Chains A and B, each alone.
Chain A
């Protein structure tokens, strides 16, 4: 099942056995196979056009656009504050991170200072969102590998996060919580901070060890993922992979630490990288374990952000005030749950953006299947796509 070097060698493109008449009189050819767009293993409306020779994949062509809404065009027609709702719909598994990315970009162009309390709240909800997204990643990756039970456990904890985020923002899936200059609502008075701290303790000390027992060190799971879909560091950088995919390939890079924004530099936490513990550096298991360990680091960040939560205002600009951005252009990137989420925002002094190009991490991460997917078995391609943890909302935008 693992990526046998002999199999890979036999499967080099255009050199397969079907090119030769090794059985006289029998003509063989490649089979075109559609994986998706409605296939549970493609994590959304992704269509992969495969050329296969038996179980071996010769060519992968992702076909995108089923969820395209041209949100970048809409950004040119609505005001800066109105567009926050569209960022929710990019990575709908971690919308707080996308909110954070966009308001950071706008504030940077405005030169707007954000109250410290607002930044602490933002970091706490962004990291909660990151945990929720990583839980989905672990759950569906396990599901792709045939492990049903971890899905139910992960969704149980995700439900707790959604309850907490609902109490602070009013929404369970799409929050529209951050605005340029702060957040929409202050922390609620119903013991929210204590409840989050309780949840974080529970997550770090009880739930993560539970997942490790269930899935991480499961022999079958390791056999299915170690040495499969190896992305080496050079390929990952060449294809613009970011986030857990890049770190899984052993590159020690995280925008939160290396391109600091918000107040992440205040807190004590570590960047997790893949080390090839079960096989090769950059295999599917490495990407999985990077996410699992990032949950732990997010718990540490949330604990510090909320224990040190300062008093003071939570908005620098009143909610009803119109945001005006002076003319200028800047590329601002933050670390969302999937990787580097960048906004190239060009303002011309008006109420709407002149151009807002969104560099979404899933879009760049997915491209690597065109290279790494070749020569794999179809079932290993499922593992590769699952370990990339894509979300189609931000690929198609």
Chain B
């Protein structure tokens, strides 16, 4: 079934919970209200015309600094300065957080993408781990790395980082701490050229210039 036909069925079920459908040549997607996503997912899974029995991927997103016009980032990503120390910034991020659900039906061989956006200071989304068990770990990862809370999650712990880690690294305004449990975290420059060659003499390989990598 085509994505716009799926969206029509979904919109008929959800009513005002279905916000918009965006056509895109690569991957169309539907925006739903954050509070209604579990309802939407249950409908998509259980309706025999749709039968989405696999959750391919669940991604947490941070839309802060996203330039909808497609001219590149409007906000610089914090990284490390030239001496390897984490960059400091007092910029307050204001963009929304979001979650994207990619569904696939093994029987009917069609795909669908659901997206939702939640405000940064109240990022709570109902869990769908009761519908597809695989969502449990994806949601733990989204909580760990982006700080999105999943209401009703059976095991809401961090997934990859330590239990007592502070902050959520994939947020665009995340600043690496200097210390963790008394351990100094000396950052290494991860995108600077480790072999800077100023002049680019005859010995320098063609592909190693800093701008290209």
A327 touches B137 (CB 8 A): no
Contact of B190 among A77, A326, A344 (CB under 8 A): A77
- CB neighbours of B206 from chain A (8 A): 319-320
Q: How large is the interface on A (under 10, 10 to 19, 20 to 34, 35 or more residues)?
A: 35 or more
Contact of A350 among B24, B56, B73, B190 (CB under 8 A): B73
Q: Which of A41-49, A299-307, A354-362 contacts B (4 or more CB under 8 A)?
A: A354-362
Contact of A72 among B66, B79, B145 (CB under 8 A): B145
B167 to chain A, nearest CB (A): 12
- CB neighbours of B59 from chain A (8 A): 344, 355, 357, 359
- With CB as the reference atom, state the residue of chain B lying closest to A66: B160
B102 touches A74 (CB 8 A): no
A77 touches B133 (CB 8 A): no
In this complex, which of A73, A74, A82, A108 has the most chain B Cβ atoms within 10 angstroms of its Cβ? A73
How many of chain B's residues have a CB under 8 angstroms from any CB in A?
Answer: 47
- With CB as the reference atom, state the residue of chain A lying closest to B80: A77
A329 vs B73: C-alpha distance in the bound complex, in angstroms? Answer: 15
- Answer whether A320 and B160 are a contact pair too, CB < 8 Å, given A237-B54, A238-B133, A357-B57: no
Q: Within 8 Å of chain B (Cβ to Cβ): is A346? A: yes
Q: Within 8 Å of chain B (Cβ to Cβ): is A251? A: yes
- Other A-B pairs beyond A319-B206, A349-B70, A355-B62, 8, CB < 8 Å: A65-B162, A68-B160, A70-B170, A72-B145, A239-B133, A349-B67, A359-B56, A364-B137
- CB neighbours of B68 from chain A (8 A): 327
B45 to chain A, nearest CB (A): 10
- Answer whether A108 and B26 are a contact pair too, CB < 8 Å, given A64-B160, A348-B70, A348-B72: yes
A27 vs B207: C-alpha distance in the bound complex, in angstroms? Answer: 68
- CB neighbours of A367 from chain B (8 A): 133-134, 136-137
B137 to chain A, nearest CB (A): 5
A349 touches B71 (CB 8 A): yes
Interface string of A290-334 (1 = CB under 8 A from B): 000000000000000000000000000001101000111111010
Give the residues from 133 to 153 in chain B that come closer than 8 angstroms, CB to CB, to chain A: 133-134, 136-137, 145
- With CB as the reference atom, state the residue of chain B lying closest to A65: B160
A77 vs B192: C-alpha distance in the bound complex, in angstroms? Answer: 10
- Answer whether A350 and B72 are a contact pair too, CB < 8 Å, given A238-B134, A328-B26: yes
Q: Within 8 Å of chain A (Cβ to Cβ): is B127? A: no
Q: Within 8 Å of chain A (Cβ to Cβ): is B3? A: no
A contact residues vs B (CB 8 Å cutoff): 64-65, 68, 70, 72-74, 76-79, 81-82, 108-109, 237-240, 251, 253, 258, 319-320, 322, 326-331, 333, 340, 342, 344, 346, 348-352, 354-355, 357, 359, 363-364, 367, 371, 396-397
A238 touches B132 (CB 8 A): yes
B190 touches A74 (CB 8 A): yes
- CB neighbours of A237 from chain B (8 A): 53-54, 106
- CB neighbours of A331 from chain B (8 A): 27, 56-57, 100, 102, 113
A319 vs B27: C-alpha distance in the bound complex, in angstroms? Answer: 29
A74 vs B192: C-alpha distance in the bound complex, in angstroms? Answer: 12
Q: Within 8 Å of chain A (Cβ to Cβ): is B159? A: yes
- With CB as the reference atom, state the residue of chain A lying closest to B172: A76
- Ordered nearest first, which 6 A-B pairs have the shortest CB separation? A327-B70, A240-B134, A350-B72, A349-B70, A357-B59, A82-B213
Q: Within 8 Å of chain A (Cβ to Cβ): is B77? A: yes
- Answer whether A77 and B73 are a contact pair too, CB < 8 Å, given A70-B170, A367-B133, A371-B133: no
- Answer whether A240 and B73 are a contact pair too, CB < 8 Å, given A72-B145, A319-B207, A346-B61: no
A253 touches B106 (CB 8 A): yes
A91 vs B16: C-alpha distance in the bound complex, in angstroms? Answer: 43
B106 touches A251 (CB 8 A): yes
B61 to chain A, nearest CB (A): 6
Give the residues from 158 to 190 in chain B that come closer than 8 angstroms, CB to CB, to chain A: 159-162, 169-170, 190
A355 touches B102 (CB 8 A): no
B133 touches A322 (CB 8 A): no
